[in-house]
């Protein structure tokens, strides 16, 4: 959770501010002191002023958080500078706090870097709980209702076939094909824009904006989040790299939101808007006579559509990419899931959603892929809006509450003594085992409204690859197989490090099946 660049220089400034803030708070506590014998949860021993910041690793903090959980228990209390944090690696505790007590733990902290410096104050996942959140979340929830998801089937099939055609043409570029599927599909849903070329402007803006977003720092854990006054730190001073990156990222993100929104808005001028999330919201305003929309209305529509693109592409893309190295390391699993696919679907058509209930091992492989490497290892922090007591421990008001999703996926009480092993059979052999879909998409009032659609896309893509393709290890210049290392990127969203693989059609009949559907006009070829 805690990461920042130019740390030492910024810390000097931050410590001066911190000392002043601590003095004021100490005076306030003396004046308003009241007795509270309820203990805080256990945790690593803090140092004066900085708390436990020095114990937090720069990368892969989910691993340290799990180690603390094993040392201190289901609730771990950590203080980073002046900010209290409670971490849990327990699914039951996460659900107790964020679902059963959702009214207390449904808020978000103040994200100075993301909301204020990057101007993402209308990103639905980041905004604080209240009327704005409820309104914009309902917009997204309505766009992924059961009826709406059925309407997306044609777009899913079209982009799926484009992906399969791309694999036939470029068998070593699977990550690019997966990115193309997720991005083109979400851009169509969000803006009604059909991608037909490799250098699509809307896709390029989205990718650049998302990459810039990922590079600036984790949500709520950079130094400027602890000391908001640092947002005014001059860019010409040493240690201002964080602000220069934020300024650059904010510009890219504005373009990412503005360009496709203005494209849809212009379509109304000529009476030709294509069906999309953005078009439906604009139509709602225009039908009510709001032709002069407020800047806030426009920001909320842009932010909500941008949330679709960022959240949808990251979660789906990470899981689909994780599946490939998992199969490279476990070819016996791939052979078994292909045998099941052949028995249920056969060799003369592609799998569809209706086949899913008849493919228990395919479903188990997807569940294990979700569990084996969660797309968002730490999710997004919740925030307590009042003091609470849980299991005999006091959780102060304005505490960051972090559910370590990666840690939950390693809970031996849930998944047995070998949680690091990729073993789909764990979901076949036990009816009581917890489905990772119950926690990788968030909790309570912050639960991802597009989770069922994302899961459907993951099934369609992975089942289609299983049905038509073989996954093989690439070879080096000496004709030796390259075994990809099982390494994953660090950060808010995590996916496999770049790896080499070759995805080839299983047979000539698989090639004919894909090309036949393309010739029938199912896909928009690139």
**Residues annotated in a binding site for heme:** 448
Residue in 403, 412, 462, 391 with CA at minimum distance from that of residue 438:
403
334, 374, 473 from 484: Cα distances, Å = 16, 19, 8
Residue in 375, 443, 382 with CA at minimum distance from that of residue 409:
375
Q: Are 155 and 524 in contact (CB under 8 A)?
A: no
For the chain, what is the radius of gyration of the CA atoms?
A: 24
Residue in 455, 444, 440, 454 with CA at minimum distance from that of residue 404:
440
Measured CA to CA, the distance from residue 490 to residue 3 in angstroms comes to 11
In sequence order, the β-bridge partners of residue 77 are 86
Measured CA to CA, the distance from residue 47 to residue 119 in angstroms comes to 34
Residue in 51, 53, 55, 94 with CA at minimum distance from that of residue 71:
55
Q: Are 464 and 160 in contact (CB under 8 A)?
A: yes
**Which DSSP symbol is given to 47?**
B
**Which DSSP symbol is given to 420?**
T
What is the three-class DSSP state of 481? strand
Cα angle 407-212-398, degrees, rounded to a multiple of 5:
50
CA dihedral 411, 415, 418, 422 (to 10 degrees): -110
Q: Are 335 and 396 in contact (CB under 8 A)?
A: no
Binding-site residues, in ranges, read 448
What is the three-class DSSP state of 152? coil
CB atoms within 10 A of CB 414: 20
Q: Are 220 and 263 in contact (CB under 8 A)?
A: no
Strand 501-505 to 469-473 pairing: antiparallel
Q: Edge to edge, what strands does the sheet with 382-383 contain?
A: 76-80, 83-88, 400-403, 382-383
Report the b/e string of 69-95 with b at 16+ CB within 10 A.
Answer: beebbbbbbbbbbebbbbbbbbbebbb
Residue by residue, DSSP assigns 425-453 as THHHH-SSPPPGGGTTT--GGG--TTHHH
Residue in 305, 395, 510, 444 with CA at minimum distance from that of residue 84:
395
Measured CA to CA, the distance from residue 518 to residue 258 in angstroms comes to 33
Question: To which H or E segment does residue 105 belong?
Answer: helix 102-105
């Amino acid at each position: 959770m805690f990461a920042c660049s130019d740390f030492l220089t910024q810390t000097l400034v931050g410590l001066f501010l911190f000392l002043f803030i601590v003095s004021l708070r100490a005076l306030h506590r003396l004046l308003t002191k009241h007795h509270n014998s309820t203990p805080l949860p256990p945790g690593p021993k803090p140092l004066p002023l900085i708390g436990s910041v020095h114990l937090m690793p720069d990368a892969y903090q989910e691993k340290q958080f799990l180690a603390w959980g094993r040392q201190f228990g289901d609730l771990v209390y950590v203080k980073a500078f002046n900010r209290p944090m409670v971490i849990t690696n327990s699914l039951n505790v996460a659900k107790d706090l964020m679902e059963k007590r959702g009214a207390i733990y449904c808020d978000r902290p103040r994200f100075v870097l993301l909301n204020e410096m990057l101007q993402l104050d209308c990103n639905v996942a980041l905004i604080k709980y209240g009327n704005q959140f409820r309104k914009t979340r309902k917009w997204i929830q309505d766009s992924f209702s059961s009826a709406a998801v059925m309407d997306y089937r044609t777009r899913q099939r079209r982009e799926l076939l484009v992906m399969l055609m791309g694999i036939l043409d470029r068998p070593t570029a699977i990550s690019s094909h997966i990115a193309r599927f997720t991005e083109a599909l979400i851009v169509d849903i969000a803006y009604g824009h059909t991608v037909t070329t490799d250098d699509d402007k809307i896709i390029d803006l989205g990718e650049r904006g998302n990459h810039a977003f990922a590079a600036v720092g984790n949500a709520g854990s950079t130094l400027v989040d602890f000391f908001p006054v640092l947002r005014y730190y001059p860019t010409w001073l040493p240690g201002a790299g964080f602000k220069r990156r934020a300024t650059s990222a904010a510009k890219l993100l504005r373009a990412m939101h503005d360009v496709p929104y203005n494209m849809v808005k212009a379509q109304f001028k000529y009476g030709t808007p294509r069906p999309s999330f953005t078009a439906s919201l604009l139509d709602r305003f225009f039908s009510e006579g709001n032709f002069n929309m407020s800047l806030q209305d426009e920001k909320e529509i842009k932010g909500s559509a941008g949330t679709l693109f960022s959240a949808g592409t990251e979660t789906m893309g990470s899981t689909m990419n994780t599946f490939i190295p998992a199969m490279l390391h476990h070819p016996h699993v791939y052979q078994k899931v292909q045998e099941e696919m052949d028995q249920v679907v056969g060799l003369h058509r592609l799998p569809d959603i209706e086949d899913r209930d008849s493919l228990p091992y395919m479903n188990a492989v997807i569940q294990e892929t979700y569990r084996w490497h969660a797309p968002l290892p730490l999710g997004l922090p919740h925030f307590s809006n009042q003091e609470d007591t849980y299991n005999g421990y006091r959780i102060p008001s304005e505490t960051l509450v972090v559910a370590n999703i990666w840690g939950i996926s390693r809970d031996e009480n849930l998944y047995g003594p070998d949680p690091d092993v990729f073993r789909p059979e764990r979901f076949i052999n036990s009816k009581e085992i917890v489905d990772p879909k119950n926690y990788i998409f968030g909790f309570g009032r912050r639960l991802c409204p597009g989770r069922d659609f994302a899961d459907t896309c993951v099934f369609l893509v992975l089942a289609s690859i299983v049905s038509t393709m073989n996954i093989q290890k690439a070879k080096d210049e000496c004709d030796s197989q390259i075994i990809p290392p099982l390494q994953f990127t660090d950060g808010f969203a995590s996916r496999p490090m770049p790896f080499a693989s070759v995805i080839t059609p299983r047979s000539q009949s698989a090639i004919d099946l894909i090309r036949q559907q393309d010739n029938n006009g199912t896909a928009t070829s690139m």
